[in-house]
């Protein structure tokens, strides 16, 4: 038991350390598909600059929390089975208003600072799940779904 707690503590440290180190990470993907830092931007069909803050996987019927920061999405990439019903819990943890907007349409939620909203949707197919913040996409606040 004691060992398990220690392992979990280390995992927590690694996770938080990773979050900090990724703070300045950004990937620029050329319209033609340039070399991205993580490669996930291309898999998600993103163009331009993406301020990357990790990825999360969600199973069919599952829920994933997406934090809206000033100014990036965390996680930036959501891995989900194409077409599966999933729920996003959107949390604006920043000081600015943000939106979670699917490029392809269907979802466009505006969140004030401190606001939380749940959205159910069918996970987009490969390369059709790009999303962005309408106010800060130019600053890299975008992300995408990756079909699993």
Interaction with Cu ion in 115-144: which residues (CB under 5 A)? 133, 135-136, 141
C-beta neighbour count of 16 within 10 angstroms: 10
* Closest distance to Cu ion from the beta carbon of 8 (Å): 33
Fill in the per-residue mask, 62 to 101: x = in contact with Cu ion (CB under 5 A), - = not in contact. Answer: ------------------------------------x---
Query: Judged by CB, which is closer to Cu ion: 53, or 98?
Result: 98
Residue of 87, 69, 91 whose CA lies nearest to 22: 69
Distance in angstroms (rounded) separating the CA atoms of residues 130 and 44: 6
Task: Report, in Å, the least distance between residue 100 CB and Cu ion.
Answer: 9
**Residue with token string 């269907």:** 106
* 111 near Cu ion, judged by CB under 5 A: no
53 binds Cu ion (CB under 5 A): no
Q: Which residues have CB under 8 Å from 118's CB, separation 6+?
A: 87, 88, 89, 90
Point out which residues bind Cu ion (CB under 5 A).
98, 133, 135-136, 141
């Amino acid at each position: 038991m004691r060992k398990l707690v220690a392992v979990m503590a280390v995992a927590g440290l690694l996770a938080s350390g990773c979050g900090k180190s990724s703070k300045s990470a950004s990937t620029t993907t050329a319209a033609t598909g340039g070399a991205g830092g993580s490669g996930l931007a291309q898999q998600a069909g993103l163009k331009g600059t993406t301020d990357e803050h990790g990825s999360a996987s969600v199973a069919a019927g599952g829920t994933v929390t997406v934090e809206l920061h000033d100014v990036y999405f965390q996680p930036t990439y959501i891995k989900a089975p194409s077409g599966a019903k999933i729920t996003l819990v959107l949390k604006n943890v920043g000081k600015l208003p943000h939106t979670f907007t699917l490029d392809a349409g269907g979802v466009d939620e505006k969140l004030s600072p401190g606001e939380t909203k749940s959205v159910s949707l069918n996970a987009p197919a490969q390369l059709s799940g790009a999303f962005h913040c309408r106010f800060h996409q130019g600053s890299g606040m975008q992300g995408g779904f990756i079909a699993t």
